[in-house]
Amino acid sequence: MQTITIEAPAKINLTLDIKGKRSDGYHELETVMHQVDLFDRITLEPRTSGIEIATNSSFIPLGPENLAYKAALMILSKCQPGVGVKIFIEKNIPVGAGLAGGSTDAAAVLAGINHLYNCRFSRQQLLEMAAAIGSDVAFCLFGEYFEPRPAELLSRGATAMARGRGELLESLATRIIPYILIVKPDFDLSTAEVYSELDLSAVEEFPDTGNFLQVWNKGDIINISVYMANVLESVSIRKKPEIGIIKSRLIKMGALTALMSGSGPSVFAIFPDNEIACRAYQAFKNEYQEVYLLSSYKRGD
Ligand code: ATP
């Protein structure tokens, strides 16, 4: 059996709203997620037994705590129990950044093993496995996968509205945001801590999701910025004021908007043109190690 390489793209949250807390302890989310052209590369190699992870990163676990390992264990146990796989993760997405780096690796492993071992699980079955692994995994699996060349699997890229814990997904129109700048400050934030400290009554800025969707559907990328917001910023900026400072600086440099992604700490900005975006990229690159100027993720026609 051949090996296969899969691109696993990061996501940003164009809007993030929380509608309340559920009886099971989770928050009821309403968020628009969008894949961007920053991706890990996952290579799967069939083995007769055992799951082995190898990576170029010193920041991710190699054992069962790795979401890619969890995904492999789940799908192989249903498809070919006892059979193994070697997973090489070329890590390009910053870890613990609010960019779904672990979730997208898990999604790529599900899609890749389904293909490589000819498991023939339906899209719905894969999405259910994804949701059982983690909140963002189903979204990361949402873009349709295709094989442009033998041994390569790509996603067409996804934008979706996610509700519930993030697993209730509704596909949105494909739109390309051409100039996105992501700045990941040199500290981590705990997702659990940020959610647990959220006080919705203290939030000053909520996204206007209804208007966002109308403008998005029209293809008016410039004006989506008016309706974007992330309610978790109220917590993260209080804990780490640097996030607020990065946002203000990006706006001053000409961004249409700048927002924290997920529970942070990454901040992304949307720029109106390449020149202004490059200037901001240079300025931040002098100060931060993890800065990316990119566009939306899209593969295929
Ligand atoms: P999200 O946006 O979904 O909340 P995140 O971008 O904040 O995720 P991740 O990069 O997924 O965060 O990492 C969060 C934690 O998950 C880290 O502590 C890391 O050790 C662990 N982890 C497990 N598997 C992976 C993986 N394959 N890649 C990255 N992190 C992983």
**Number of folded domains that form the chain:** 2
Question: Does 257 share its domain with 122?
Answer: no
Question: Does 228 share its domain with 141?
Answer: no
Question: Does 156 share its domain with 189?
Answer: no
pLDDT, one tens digit per residue, over 242-272 is: 999 999 999 999 999 999 999 999 999 999 9
Q: Which of the listed residues 11, 60, 91 should we mutate to test ligand 1's pocket, taking the one with most ligand atoms within 8 A of CB?
A: 60
**Straight-line distance from the first to the last Cα atom of the chain, in angstroms, rounded to the nearest whole number:** 29
Range of the domain at 190: 180-294
Question: Does 42 share its domain with 122?
Answer: yes
Q: Which of the listed residues 31, 67, 136 should we mutate to test ligand 1's pocket, taking the one with most ligand atoms within 8 A of CB?
A: 67
Q: What is the mean pLDDT of residues 124-141?
A: 96
- From 171, 192, 226, give the residue that closes a domain: 171
Pick the closest to residue 106 from 188, 28, 44 (CA basis): 44
> What mean pLDDT is reported for the chain?
96
DSSP assigned state of 142: -
Residues 71 and 89: their CA atoms lie apart, in Å, by 13
Q: Which pair of structure tokens corresponds to residue 142?
A: 């949402």
CATH number for the domain harbouring residue 197: 3.30.70.890
Question: Does 200 share its domain with 243?
Answer: yes
For the chain, percent of residues with pLDDT exceeding 70? 100
What pairing do the DSSP bridges indicate for beta strands 267-270 and 290-294? unpaired
What is the distance in A from the centroid of ligand 1 to the CA of 161?
A: 21
> What is the number of the ligand 1 atom nearest to the C-alpha of 55?
27
Question: Does 166 share its domain with 214?
Answer: no
- From 171, 196, 230, give the residue that closes a domain: 171
| Whether the predicted pLDDT of 1 surpasses 70 | no
Residue 137, pLDDT score: 97
- From 138, 171, 204, give the residue that closes a domain: 171
pLDDT, one tens digit per residue, over 152-179 is: 999 999 999 999 998 899 999 999 999 9
**Position 83 in a domain:** yes
